């Protein structure tokens, strides 16, 4: 029982302590090794001597001592961060628990999401350092062999050290641009978790929960950023529908067929409240628009209550803000619901002819769905065939096959 | 920390510029070099002659192989470089973004190896 409580405590305090050690030492590897040692020592010492009054400070102090031990064993010509060399000279470490630990986590987030690092590396580093996932857990989450993940982490940490990516929150004039990158990395983590609907999901650590945790971190540490709140709201509102998204056999359940009583009311309320706060700041952006669309979906008690004209208008705004063929496809689907299948179909056919979504299975799937609604069964069959030739995810394939079979 | 700022651009683009455009470009580079020098970060730098003047040499099995042209034929060619000394990658990128060729070419920023830094 105590061991479990200690384990939870270490997990909760861990990311803050690690972020602080990274800033203090200026060295990811050294900080991680020292942090691991501090955790091991905690698991050994706390059951015997009882919990320290401030566990985070305890871990930081022990971690710093351990880091100094490690540095003393290094060749003398490796340059050191000022804090490390001062501590070495004084042969003592300052007690841990500096007041700006929160800032350290924010600095760490901006550092690991620096655009000088490839996005897969950003994701792996964020999960490793800010969420406390092990390399093995990150590898399983991305369905890649553990040595690949390990290599990715090693290379990214080496680049941070050798190219000297600074451990800092960017200055005000760069903040907006850099925050975009941070938010898009977080959303990518979320989407990886959200599209993991297939059988292997039980071995996948909950990437959605980790992404939401990172989203909360940004909102908490950078108050007043409407798009950060927009992203958090978007993730909460999507996540609310997760329990109803897959049937027991793993088949994807489309929105209109989902059992709405299984949606998580708590998450919906929280997401809607966060979105309201964001919108009130009067700085609209793509995450807020997407969250507003998600909110309209989850607020409808029955599928037929959905406010499609409003959703179509929001997609129009999103399209003006960040034009992309995929947003256009969604806009066309919303128009089909708001103004009838013909209007949507015409738009989708134009998209099809443009070739911008060639190879993307959701375009013929959406066309097939509208043709089905219009009773044009033969054309719908052809379109389902095109979608099935392109689809890769087994749950989506089963869904399309079921729809095709229902056409008779 | 010292970084090399490698300036890649299309030589075709350069050669199709009008005389006033070329003069304008040189004026911008003169200003940029002056800004680097004034900020005390400039360590070295030069424009390079066109890639058509490049010669590549390799020694294989003790034998010298000399070929005409740059090491790799690419759409954008190395046209010049600066070596700057700044605290970290962030400030190196800030300076690189101010390079006149950043607008139509590509600027690669790489740290010099520690041993090369005085």
Q: Choosing among B1, B3, B85, B90, which should be mutated to test the A contact, i.e. which has the most A CBs within 10 A?
A: B90
Kindly state the DSSP code that residue B112 receives in the 8-state scheme.
Answer: P
In this prediction, residue A245 carries a pLDDT of 85
pLDDT in tens, A53-98: 888 999 999 999 999 999 888 776 666 676 777 777 776 666 655 4
pLDDT of A49 > 60? The answer is: yes
Query: Does the beta-carbon distance from B90 to A162 stay under 8 Å?
Result: no
User: Which of B88, B109, B110 is nearest residue A166 as measured by Cβ atoms?
Assistant: B88
Query: Does the beta-carbon distance from B111 to A164 stay under 8 Å?
Result: yes
In this prediction, residue A8 carries a pLDDT of 81
Distance CA A341, CA A270 (A): 34
Per CB-CB distance under 8 Å, the chain B contacts of A110 are none
Scan residues 294-313 of A and list those with Cβ closer than 8 Å to B: none
pLDDT in tens, A263-313: 999 999 999 999 999 999 999 999 999 999 999 999 999 999 999 999 999
Query: Does the beta-carbon distance from A116 to B110 stay under 8 Å?
Result: no
Cβ neighbours for B114, distance < 8 A, ≥ 6 positions apart: A79
β-partners of residue B64 are B59
Distance CA A257, CA A259 (A): 7
pLDDT tier, A231 (very low <50, low <70, confident <90, very high otherwise)? very high
| Helix intervals (H) in A222-340 | 226-240, 265-280, 286-299, 308-321, 325-339
In this prediction, residue A101 carries a pLDDT of 53
Average pLDDT over residues A380-407: 91
Per CB-CB distance under 8 Å, the chain A contacts of B111 are 162-164
Distance CA A236, CA A234 (A): 6
User: Which of B87, B89, B114 is nearest residue A163 as measured by Cβ atoms?
Assistant: B89
Compare all CA atoms of chain A with the CA of B3 and give the residue at the minimum distance: A163
CA distance, residue A111 to nearest chain B CA (Å):
10
A374, A341 in Cβ contact below 8 A? yes
Q: Is residue A168 within 8 angstroms of chain B, CB to CB? A: yes
Q: For all residues of chain B together, what is the average pLDDT? A: 92
In this prediction, residue A144 carries a pLDDT of 85
pLDDT tier, A159 (very low <50, low <70, confident <90, very high otherwise)? very high
DSSP string for A145-212:
-HHHHHHHHHHHHHHHHHTT---SPPPHHHHHHHHHHHHHHHHHHHHHHHT--SGGGGGS--HHHHHH
Per CB-CB distance under 8 Å, the chain B contacts of A168 are 90
- Out of A47-51, A231-235, B101-105, least confident range: A47-51
A82, A24 in Cβ contact below 8 A? no
In this prediction, residue A93 carries a pLDDT of 65
CA distance, residue A31 to nearest chain B CA (Å):
20
Average pLDDT over residues A203-217: 83
Residue spans of the domains in chain A: they are 2-99, 100-223, 226-289
- Out of A301-310, A394-403, B51-60, B100-109, least confident range: A394-403
pLDDT in tens, A106-134: 899 999 999 999 999 999 999 999 888 88
pLDDT of A177 > 60? The answer is: yes
Most confident of A52-56, A191-195, A283-287, A389-393: A283-287
Per CB-CB distance under 8 Å, the chain B contacts of A164 are 1, 87-89, 111
Distance CA A12, CA A51 (A): 14
In this prediction, residue A408 carries a pLDDT of 77
In this prediction, residue B117 carries a pLDDT of 58
User: Which of B88, B110, B114 is nearest residue A165 as measured by Cβ atoms?
Assistant: B88
In this prediction, residue A230 carries a pLDDT of 98
Most confident of A40-54, A105-119, A166-180, B98-112: B98-112
In this prediction, residue A301 carries a pLDDT of 92
Compare all CA atoms of chain B with the CA of A171 and give the residue at the minimum distance: B90
Average pLDDT over residues B86-99: 96
In this prediction, residue A205 carries a pLDDT of 60
Q: Is residue A162 within 8 angstroms of chain B, CB to CB? A: yes
Query: Does the beta-carbon distance from A164 to B93 stay under 8 Å?
Result: no
β-partners of residue B66 are B57
pLDDT of A2 > 80? The answer is: no
Per CB-CB distance under 8 Å, the chain A contacts of B90 are 165-166, 168, 170
Helix/strand/coil for B79: strand
In this prediction, residue A74 carries a pLDDT of 79
pLDDT of A1 > 70? The answer is: no
pLDDT in tens, B64-91: 999 998 888 888 999 999 999 999 999 9
Percent with pLDDT over 90 in chain B? 78
Higher per-residue confidence, A281 vs A243: A281
What is the ipTM score, two decimals?
0.82
In this prediction, residue A203 carries a pLDDT of 45
Domains detected in chain B: 2-48+74-116 (3.30.70.1060)
Query: Does the beta-carbon distance from B110 to A162 stay under 8 Å?
Result: no
């Amino acid at each position: 029982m105590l061991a479990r409580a200690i384990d939870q405590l270490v997990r909760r305090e861990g990311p803050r302590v690690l972020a602080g050690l990274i800033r203090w030492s200026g060295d990811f590897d050294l900080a991680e090794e020292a942090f691991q040692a501090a955790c091991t020592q905690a698991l050994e010492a706390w059951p015997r001597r009882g919990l320290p009054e401030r566990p985070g400070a305890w871990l930081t102090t022990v971690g710093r001592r351990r880091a100094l031990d490690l540095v003393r064993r290094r060749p003398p010509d490796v340059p050191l961060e000022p804090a490390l060399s001062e501590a070495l000279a004084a042969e003592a470490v300052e007690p841990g628990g500096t007041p700006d630990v929160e800032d350290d986590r924010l600095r760490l987030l901006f550092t690991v999401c620096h655009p000088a690092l490839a996005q897969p590396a950003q994701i792996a580093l964020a999960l490793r350092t800010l969420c406390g996932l092990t390399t093995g857990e990150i590898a399983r989450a991305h369905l890649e062999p553990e040595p690949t993940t390990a290599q990715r982490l090693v290379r990214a940490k080496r680049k941070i050290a050798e190219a000297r990516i600074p451990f800092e929150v960017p200055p005000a004039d760069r903040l907006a641009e850099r925050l975009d990158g941070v938010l898009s990395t977080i959303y990518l983590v979320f989407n990886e978790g959200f599209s993991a609907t297939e059988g292997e999901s039980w071995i996948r650590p909950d990437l959605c929960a980790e992404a939401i945790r990172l989203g909360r971190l940004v909102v908490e540490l950078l108050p007043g950023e409407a798009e950060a709140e927009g992203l958090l709201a978007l993730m909460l509102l999507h996540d609310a529908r997760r329990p109803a998204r897959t049937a027991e056999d793993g088949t994807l359940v489309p929105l209109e067929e989902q059992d709405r009583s299984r949606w998580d009311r708590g998450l919906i309320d929280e997401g809607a409240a966060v979105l309201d706060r964001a919108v009130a700041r009067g700085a609209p952006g793509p995450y807020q628009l997407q969250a507003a669309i998600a909110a309209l979906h989850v607020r409808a008690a029955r599928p037929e209550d959905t406010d499609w004209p409003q959703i179509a208008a929001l997609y129009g705004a999103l399209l003006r803000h960040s034009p992309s063929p995929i947003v256009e496809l969604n806009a066309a689907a919303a128009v089909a619901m708001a103004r009838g299948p013909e209007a949507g179909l015409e738009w989708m056919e134009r998209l099809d002819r443009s070739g911008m979504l060639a190879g993307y299975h959701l375009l013929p799937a959406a066309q097939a769905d509208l043709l089905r609604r219009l009773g044009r069964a033969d054309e719908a069959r052809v379109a389902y065939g095109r979608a099935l030739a392109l689809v890769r995810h087994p749950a989506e394939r089963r869904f399309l096959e079921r729809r095709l079979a229902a056409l008779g | 920390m010292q970084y090399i700022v490698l300036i890649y651009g299309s030589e075709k683009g350069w050669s199709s510029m009008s005389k006033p455009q070329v003069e304008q470009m040189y004026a911008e580079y003169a200003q940029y070099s002056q800004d680097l020098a004034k900020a005390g970060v400039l360590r070295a730098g030069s424009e390079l002659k066109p890639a058509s003047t490049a010669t590549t040499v390799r020694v294989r099995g003790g034998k010298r192989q000399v070929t005409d042209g740059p090491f790799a034929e690419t759409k954008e060619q190395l046209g010049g470089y600066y070596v700057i000394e700044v605290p970290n990658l962030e400030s190196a990128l800030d300076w690189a973004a101010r390079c006149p060729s950043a607008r139509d070419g590509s600027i690669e920023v790489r740290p010099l190896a520690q041993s090369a830094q005085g």
